[in-house]
Chains A and B, each alone.
Chain A
């Protein structure tokens, strides 16, 4: 009886610990969002959202961070687009053509999983070295290419995860109708997985827009909105980073507002992705 009481108490203590852990995570999440909101909202203004830095901006002068917002969107869209061109065929190839070769399939998956973990600063510094070698200057296109290489493994693997769920029967049915592998890839697998694909793209877009270390050397920074791919471009994460390290309080305030804007963009992407996958799941059951 004593034994059983001891065991029950042990369980109670650990349940409390486990609940506390979940609580901490919820709390931290709340704390982060609250901090960003509380600091960001007072510093936010239309001017920040709609104008580029004017003279003396970095000493507390007038202006906004439109340059960084537009720059980030250009960069993330460009990088996502190029990553898509690389990832979609790769993911389809992996699931349609290599279907028979289980070992090779798993080896490639393993390889891409490992790539996923390489930090963006390594990609950034590698790209920078290449740029120096060819005598290129920091530009939007260089940033786009670097980020594309860095998000491609993420996109491939998340597309791969949805493609994996396509039932074998569908593949066999399509083959028996005489479709070529290419047709199967794009007509069957791709169409079947469009919602999952969109989620994968959104995930990668979020990654692209939020990363700072890979664009630090490759994209540069400018107060203007880039007009061509060869011009340097400002990005939101870097704009936050530079302003936050400023000794002038007004400039730091604006970093908070910029962080708020970036967080809202990320939240919107996350919610959209979730909505799509929920809807998708409903469709699947019916």
Chain B
């Protein structure tokens, strides 16, 4: 038992060390500034500028959470504060099924529905011509994917808020919405922020679905209708050919390391904050 436990604990540490060692080769041959703050990505010439990928990842993640966040928050509030038992009984399996659908299926759905929708309906509204494989398409698909995840955490958090608190507030003559606005949301705020934080890390690391709809052009995106090329897609797309070019593997390990570390940090703070919230109730 101790063996398996230590195995579970050691694996990620070994992983982190391995990734660091591998990607350190890149630092030896290129200055840090050039790696993080330039956008020239020419592996065969030895130029590895991560900026477009990092920005792509940040933009698409931000967009996804921006779309999914309010929908999740409103639904979670409705399901925990207003909804009848029957609706909750319908929604729970729906959320579970959405959470279980594999990311490749979301990708298929994105290509069949969202990409043409962006290209034929949304973009013409702004007089833009595009294939549809864009930041906004990726953001929408990603938003749908992280929705069940965020929603589940939010519901769990909102259920821990003691009912005495809303009873007390109602007794002061508040409407139910005022209870939510002034008391429940305020009380659950650290938890809500953490749920979004976990959503961010989920979106940040999502690979296949994003790879399928985001367009994958290594350029700093200038708007919603530009293609993007997030870090996970970079890794997945180039793994096959990396062996033939020097330093290419280090660069991809570097991408993996960036993902690994930023997600660890995000998850760490979100989880800590949720633990504290649950303990203080």
User: A residues near B, CB below 8 A?
Assistant: 7-8, 10-11, 14-15, 17-22, 24-26, 28-29, 31-32, 35-36, 39, 85-87, 89-90, 92-94, 97, 106, 108, 110-126, 128-130, 132, 149, 152-153, 156, 185, 203, 206, 209-213, 216-217, 237, 240-241, 244-245, 255-256, 259, 262-263, 266-267, 269-270, 274
- Comparing B34-42, B120-128, B198-206, B218-226, the segment that makes contact with chain A is B198-206
A132 to chain B, nearest CB (A): 7
Cβ of B207 within 8 Å of any chain A Cβ, yes or no, is yes
| Chain A neighbourhood of B78, CB < 8 A | 15, 18-19, 21-22
Identify the closest chain A residue to B149 (Cβ): A117
Complex: how many Å from CA A235 to CA B198?
28
> Is there contact, CB below 8 Å, between B100 and A270?
yes
Complex: how many Å from CA A44 to CA B172?
61
| Chain A neighbourhood of B165, CB < 8 A | none
Tell me whether A266 and B175 are in contact in the complex, defined as CB-CB below 8 angstroms, given that A35-B109, A125-B235 are known contacts: no
Cross-interface CB contact of B108 among A86, A89, A259, cutoff 8 Å: A259
> Is there contact, CB below 8 Å, between A93 and B112?
no
Identify the closest chain B residue to A114 (Cβ): B267
> Is there contact, CB below 8 Å, between B9 and A111?
yes
| Chain A neighbourhood of B198, CB < 8 A | 117
Complex: how many Å from CA A21 to CA B154?
14
Identify the closest chain B residue to A153 (Cβ): B8
B20 to chain A, nearest CB (A): 11
A-B contact count (CB 8 A): 239
| Chain B neighbourhood of A255, CB < 8 A | 108
B83 to chain A, nearest CB (A): 8
| Nearest 5 Cβ contacts at the A-B interface | A119-B205, A210-B102, A18-B78, A21-B74, A93-B1
> Is there contact, CB below 8 Å, between B70 and A237?
no
**What would be 10 A-B contacts, judged by CB atoms less than 8 Å apart?**
A14-B177, A18-B74, A20-B74, A25-B98, A39-B112, A125-B253, A185-B1, A210-B105, A213-B236, A263-B105
Identify the closest chain B residue to A241 (Cβ): B104
| Chain A neighbourhood of B245, CB < 8 A | none
| Chain B neighbourhood of A132, CB < 8 A | 243, 249
Tell me whether A121 and B91 are in contact in the complex, defined as CB-CB below 8 angstroms, given that A18-B75, A25-B75, A210-B103 are known contacts: no
Cβ of B189 within 8 Å of any chain A Cβ, yes or no, is no
> Is there contact, CB below 8 Å, between B108 and A25?
no
> Is there contact, CB below 8 Å, between B100 and A126?
no
Complex: how many Å from CA A8 to CA B174?
10
Cross-interface CB contact of B8 among A14, A156, A206, A267, cutoff 8 Å: A156
Interface residues as binary, B62-83 with A (CB distance below 8 Å gives 1, 0 otherwise): 0000000011111101110011
With a 10 A CB-CB cut-off, give which of A92, A114, A210, A263 has the most chain B CB atoms. A114
Chain B contact patch, size range:
35 or more
B197 to chain A, nearest CB (A): 10
> Is there contact, CB below 8 Å, between B239 and A128?
yes
Cβ of B187 within 8 Å of any chain A Cβ, yes or no, is no
> Is there contact, CB below 8 Å, between A211 and B103?
yes
> Is there contact, CB below 8 Å, between B113 and A31?
yes
Identify the closest chain A residue to B205 (Cβ): A119
> Is there contact, CB below 8 Å, between B235 and A121?
yes
> Is there contact, CB below 8 Å, between B4 and A86?
yes
Complex: how many Å from CA A17 to CA B76?
12
> Is there contact, CB below 8 Å, between A120 and B207?
yes
> Is there contact, CB below 8 Å, between B175 and A126?
no
> Is there contact, CB below 8 Å, between A217 and B267?
no
Tell me whether A114 and B271 are in contact in the complex, defined as CB-CB below 8 angstroms, given that A21-B74, A89-B1, A210-B103 are known contacts: yes
B55 to chain A, nearest CB (A): 18
> Is there contact, CB below 8 Å, between A263 and B101?
yes
| Chain A neighbourhood of B147, CB < 8 A | 25, 28
Cβ of B111 within 8 Å of any chain A Cβ, yes or no, is yes
Identify the closest chain A residue to B269 (Cβ): A114
Interface residues as binary, B255-271 with A (CB distance below 8 Å gives 1, 0 otherwise): 01001100110111001
Cross-interface CB contact of A212 among B83, B94, B104, B272, cutoff 8 Å: B104
A189 to chain B, nearest CB (A): 12
> Is there contact, CB below 8 Å, between B208 and A213?
yes
> Is there contact, CB below 8 Å, between A29 and B102?
no
> Is there contact, CB below 8 Å, between A93 and B5?
yes
| Chain B neighbourhood of A130, CB < 8 A | 18
Interface residues as binary, B82-122 with A (CB distance below 8 Å gives 1, 0 otherwise): 11000100110111111011111111110111000000000
